[in-house]
Amino acid sequence: MKVIYKITYPNGKIYIGKDLTDSINYFGSASPDLIASDFSREQRRDFAIRKEILWESAAASDAEVNQKEVEYIASFGSNDPAIGYNRWPRFRGPR
């Protein structure tokens, strides 16, 4: 199963990603330094994130999954630094 997921961090920021293997313990490739900069040492002591599956397919090609990921990043605005941790596609500002 191939999936598109949304990770929500304690500060409300999100990350949209894809997993071509549907691994339960995969939480994406967001920049750890970028995320760490948003949380104090104390906040890191008790830290919970939420992973939601937004879309799944057993038949989609990898190219289709890639396209879906970009669509979801755009629809959630997770490449806007105020909203999320996706840095691609590059945020161009409000439309």
The pLDDT score that the predictor gives to residue 90 is 84
pLDDT digits (tens, 9 = 90+) for 12-66: 999 999 999 999 999 999 999 999 999 999 999 999 999 999 999 999 999 999 9
* Residue-level pLDDT at 91: 79
DSSP state at residue 90: P
How many other C-beta atoms are found inside a 10 Å radius of the C-beta of residue 75?
A: 10
Question: Phi and psi (nearest 5°) for 53?
Answer: -85, 120
E strands present in the chain: 2-8, 14-19, 50-57
Could you tell me which residue, 91 or 32, shows the higher pLDDT?
32
Per-domain residue ranges of the chain: 2-76
For the whole model, what pTM was predicted?
0.92
